[in-house]
Amino acid sequence: MTEVYTNTRKNHLNDDMSQSMGSLMSSSVFIGSSSHAAPESQIRHLYKKARYFFVNKQFPEAYSSILLLVIEESTLTLHIDEVTRNKSWQLYLAILDRIAITAPDKLKQAFSRAEIVDFKKLVDQGAIWDQVNAAYPSPQQPSPEVVLSLSLLCARHMNKPNIVREKLAVYINEHGAEETTEAQMRILEFYILVILPACERWEEAELFVNSNERVSEEKRQILLSALDRLKSKAEDRIQASQDRERLNKLKRAVLEKSKAPKAEKEMTGSDCASMLSETAITDVTDVNGDRPVPLSQTPIPRVVDMMAFAFRIFKKPDVIIKLLEYVLGISVFLLALAVPENRARLGQVIAQLLAKLRNTLKMGLRISYL
C-alpha cells in the first residue's frame, strides 16, 4: 500500500481508539454484560461519529474518526463487513473532497504541512486508487458507488485525466460481464461523457458507445448526441481561443510598429490587410448551426479593406488601436446581420420605430393645425 499517511496522525491512532472506547463505555454500548465494547459496536460508533462531524462541517475531526475504518494499520478493518466498508470509504472520499476545496489558510490551521502534502499526493498523483484497491481483501471489490465517488474526486481535483481514464478502463473491462446496475451505468456515462472528452479521445468515446453491449439502442443514441454537442462546444472554445490569440497578435504587432524607428513606423495597406486577415474567421455558421456561410459572403473582407485604408490614413498608433476596437465592434454587429433571422428581427424593430415616429409626427401636425 502506498504510504500516504503522516507519522503524526499514525501516532495518535491508538489514542483515538482509546478515546473512542471510553466514549463507547460511557454511552453504555456493550455486548451483553461484557466490560469491553465489541469491534462491531466500535465500528458503528466511529462511522456515526465521522458522519456527524462531516455533516456539521468539522472536517478535521471527521477525517480523524473515519481514518480508523479505512487504513490497514487499524485492527478494526479486520472486523468491518463489506457494506460498512463501502459506506466508510464513500464517506472518506467525501471528506477528502471537502478538504481539497478548503482554503489554504484554513487547511494549515487544521492539518500539519506533511498531512497537506499527503492529501495532494493522494489526489494529484492518483495514490488514492492504490489505497482503495489495497483496502479490499480478495475476493471483495469496491462497490460501483465507491468507484464512482473515487472517479469524481480525482476528476475534480487532479490535472491528469489520463490516470482516471486508465483506472476506469481497467475497472470497466474487469466488470464487463456483470449485470448492469444503475451505479455501473453512471460509471459508463461518466467515462464516456467526462473522462474521454477531457482526454480529447472523441473517436474512442464514439467507438466505445457503439461497441458496448451493455448500452441499449435508445441510450446509445442519447450518448452519441451528447458527445456531438460536447465536441461542438469544445471546438467552439478552441476557435474562440485561437481568435483571441490572433487579435492579441495583431495588437502586439501594432504596438511593436509604434516602438520602431520613425522611418519604419508606416505600415502599408497590404501589410495591414495581411495581418487583419489572420484574425478573420474562415466560415460563419448560422443560428441553427446547419449552413456555413462562405467568407466571401460575409462583411469580413470589407472590414479588412476599411482597416487597411485606416492604416494608410492615420499614423498615430493610439488612434489606430482605438479605431481597431470600434471597427471590431461594428464587425461583430455586421456578422450578426449575416444571419437571416437576425436581419428579419432587426427589420421588424426598425419598422416599429418608424411607425411610432410617423404617429408622433401626425399628432404634432394636428396639434399645430388646431
In this prediction, residue 283 carries a pLDDT of: 42
pLDDT, mean of residues 134-138:
83
What average pLDDT score do residues 81-97 get? 94
- Mean pLDDT, rounded, for 346-364: 68
Q: Which of 93-102, 226-235, 238-247, 272-281 has the lowest mean pLDDT?
A: 272-281
Segment 266-283 mean pLDDT: 47
pLDDT interval class at 228 (50, 70, 90): very high
> 259-266 — which CB contacts under 8 Å span 24+ positions?
265/315, 265/317, 266/315
Which is more confidently placed, 279 or 358? 358
Do 193 and 223 touch, CB atoms closer than 8 A?
A: yes
| Mean pLDDT of all residues in 310-337 | 59
Cα separation of 350 and 253, whole Å?
40
Q: Report the distance separating Cα 351 and Cα 357, nearest Å.
A: 10
pLDDT tens digits for range 4-52: 444 445 444 444 444 443 333 333 332 333 335 678 899 999 999 999 9
Q: What is the mean pLDDT of residues 59-72?
A: 90
Helix ranges (DSSP H) in the chain: 7-11, 13-26, 39-55, 59-67, 82-100, 104-110, 113-124, 127-135, 144-157, 161-174, 182-190, 196-198, 202-211, 217-259, 269-277, 300-313, 317-337, 340-369
Q: What is the pLDDT of residue 178?
A: 73
If 0-12 CB within 10 Å is exposed, 13-18 middle and 19+ buried, where does residue 362 land?
exposed
So what's the pLDDT on residue 213? 85
Name beta bridge partners: 283: 294
Supply the DSSP string of 195-257, one letter for each residue.
Answer: IHHHTT-HHHHHHHHHH-TTS-HHHHHHHHHHHHHHHHHHHHHHHHHHHHHHHHHHHHHHHHH
User: Region 217-239: what's the mean pLDDT?
Assistant: 92
Specify the residue for cell string 464514439.
206
Tell me: the pLDDT tens digits for 91-100?
A: 999 999 999 9
- Per-residue pLDDT of 340-350, as tens digits, reads 666 667 667 66
Q: Which three cell numbers stand for residue 30?
A: 456493550
Mean pLDDT of the chain: 74
Q: pLDDT of 122-132, one tens digit each? A: 888 788 998 89
Place of cell 479486520: 78
**pLDDT for the residue 331:** 61
**Confidence (pLDDT) at 140:** 81
What share of the chain in percent tops pLDDT 70? 60
Average pLDDT over residues 218-222: 93
At residue 5, the pLDDT reads 42
